[in-house]
Structure 1
Amino acid sequence: MPPDAVAEYADGLCYTDLMAGYYLEAPDEVLQAIADFSAWFFVWDDRHDRDIVHHRPAAWRRLRRRLHSALDAPRVHLHHEDPLVAAFADTLTRLYSFLPPTWNARFARHFHDVIEAYDREFRNRVEGVVPPVQEYLALRRLTFAHWIWTDLLEAAAGRELPDPVRKHSSYRRAALLSQEFAAWYNDLCSLPKEIAGDEVHNLGISLIHHEGLTLEEAIREMQRLVAKCVDAFLVAEADALQFALGLDDGTARGKELSAAVRTCVRNMRNWFSAVYWFHHESGRYQVDSWDDRSTPPYVNNEAAGEK
């Protein structure tokens, strides 16, 4: 975004507000780092989109390599020539300071997968490939970064969760449903923009292309899936909270672990209200007020990726 666009649009995009509504009870420095990372993620998503629209595969390949490198050695990239890479490194150095190296390594593994999923989306969009619904949903869990936002729940709670806790079916299902809701609701709100831009990566577009639904039918089906996700989460949330209570075995460690899991699960619930609010307040989705419904007015269309 050029400076005048930042002044005009930045606050109205509400990127940091979204995180403030999700990671409640996080210390200020943790919330700031997560909010900055979230803002970076949206900017990265727009760069990725512009590299596709303006046919810049070499620029995308270069950025992909740089992000993988920065993920493993962020301090080396703090002053990188590409501001997007430098900003990524900056947010990582802060996020990596809150929890043990084992959490950092897991976060890095998860984000390496996100970068590669973005590469698959790049190729699909360049080649005009609309993934079938189930294939799309599996890929969407990566492009929406389900496990990244879930990992960050632990940073907000101030404790790394042991693998048996984090991978327990009740905890993992609640976490997955909170993110599925967010991703599918995002697709619903992004559908007008993405249809206008001839995009191929959207649940509604997959339903239309592979299931033979009309636009109106696809919207109704997305609304049904989103509502079903809410209902399923309420059941999963109760199971996860019961699981958390059972972790309190009377020891100090058990009590602390139980409290951390309860904090994480409560914040999973916050994702529903935060995401709903964000999509109706952020200027990112108000396509009816744009000159071009496929392109947000704050996006800089210059060849930034070629620098």
Structure 2
Amino acid sequence: MIEDAFPRQLHPYWPKLQENTRDWLLEKRLMPADKVREYADGLCYTDLMAGYYLGAPDDVLQAIADYSAWFFVWDDRHDRDIVHGRPADWRLLRNRLHAALDAPLHHLHHPDPLVEGFADSVSRLYSFLPRTWNRRFARHFHAVIEAYDREFRNRTEGYVPKVEEYLALRRLTFAHRIWTDLLEPSAGCELPDSVRGHPAYRRAALLSQEFAAWYNDLCSLPKEIAGDEVHNLGISLVTHEGLTLEEAVDEVRRRIEECIAEFLEAERGALALAAEMTGETAHGEELGPAVRACVGNMRNWFSSVYWFHHESGRYMVDSWDDRSTPPYVNNEAAGEK
């Protein structure tokens, strides 16, 4: 369904992107050299971004790719802090990330590599568009950090959210608004509230992100069952709706297919909005193409997410020595012996 309706594309900068992000992970000490050599390319983090933000200037795509790689490393640290019972370490990191988000230039030499890497990538993202965009990005990511904190508490307590509660939390932990915000520097234009809040644009953006989150749940279900996770649509369906695991997988697939069909309809409305804007005013000559570029990249998210989950070593749990411990995670550096 995805392969037919959403042809795969990659930004032409991708080979250099992969090389530079690999070097950045080393420079910022986010992964040790042996892990980078063995796993970085196979994790396909840069492939995911190079398939999404087509048309982005090279420096914008590089900043997004480095930030995305940081996000995956942060997600792994969060997981290890839960698995190994380190709530104090998590609280400290949470507070530091909030501070770095508001003042990244003050945290560029922080002793925690995760804070330093975050500050570096965010400060670069803040350089492309006006402060109004920066404040919106910060507001949205503060909410993501707090959602990760709720997830920390849920997992520590073994609490499985009900389906609707989970879906609301997932929109935050998957950072729906962040990836949508980043469409704008990729298009070289901050979109006004009238566009971002327009029902056609907002719905297309939401559906592209919902697909990604639910497809991630589908593909990561074996990994998350092995790791005693409680945050997965399939796990919520089994726990609270009385479905068998096989029935839950079928239901997640059904939701994904419905999401794809609804996006194709929403996409038409969003493109019509772009067409209406083009040529109406001098500003519309710039704004219309920017909206069209953003909507086009919402479409690219489908194929990029699809191929990422089938190619990234992050989801190949059957090939791991220990199905509950990803081999690319640096346990010792995270405080384990």
Question: Same-fold call, TM > 0.5?
Answer: yes
What is the one-letter code of the residue matched to 2:204? Answer: A
- What per-residue deviation string (whole Å, max 9, x for no partner) do you get for residues 111-153 of structure 1? 0000000000000000000000000000000000000000000
**SS of residue paired to 1:292:** coil
CA contact 1:23–1:31 (8 Å) conserved in 2: yes
Displaced runs of 4+ in structure 1, greater than 6 A? none
Q: In structure 1, which of residues 218, 228, 234 is the aligned counterpart of residue 248 of structure 2?
A: 218
What is the one-letter code of the residue matched to 1:122? Answer: F
2:197 & 2:332 partners in 1: Cα distance? 44
What is the one-letter code of the residue matched to 2:220? Answer: S
Consecutive unaligned residues in structure 2, runs of 5 or more: 1-30
Q: Does 1:274 align with 2:309?
A: no
1:301 & 1:206 partners in 2: Cα distance? 29
CA contact 1:25–1:157 (8 Å) conserved in 2: yes
| Aligned position for 1:3 | 33
Q: Does 1:287 align with 2:317?
A: yes
What is the one-letter code of the residue matched to 1:205? Answer: I
Q: Does 1:62 align with 2:82?
A: no
2:257 & 2:197 partners in 1: Cα distance? 25
2:214 & 2:306 partners in 1: Cα distance? 11
Deviation, 1:177, is 0.2
Deviation, 1:84, is 0.5
**SS of residue paired to 2:182:** helix
| Aligned position for 1:132 | 162
2:280 & 2:137 partners in 1: Cα distance? 31
| Aligned position for 2:68 | 38
Identity %: 78
- What per-residue deviation string (whole Å, max 9, x for no partner) do you get for residues 212-261 of structure 1? 11110010111111111000000000000001111124322111100100
250-259 vs 40-49, which moves further: 250-259
| Aligned position for 1:104 | 134
CA contact 1:248–1:254 (8 Å) conserved in 2: yes
| Aligned position for 1:202 | 232
Deviation, 1:305, is 5.9
- What per-residue deviation string (whole Å, max 9, x for no partner) do you get for residues 183-218 of structure 1? 000000110011111110000000000001111001
1:292 & 1:180 partners in 2: Cα distance? 30
Deviation, 1:283, is 0.4
**SS of residue paired to 1:291:** coil
| Aligned position for 2:56 | 26
1:75 & 1:91 partners in 2: Cα distance? 10
1:305 & 1:272 partners in 2: Cα distance? 37
| Aligned position for 1:123 | 153
Q: Does 1:299 align with 2:297?
A: no
Deviation, 1:304, is 2.1
Kindly tell me the number of residue pairs found equivalent between the two proteins: 306
Deviation, 1:293, is 1.4
**1:256-271 correspondence to structure 2 within 5 Å:** 256-271=286-301
Q: Taking structure 2 as the reference length, what is the TM-score of the superposition?
A: 0.90
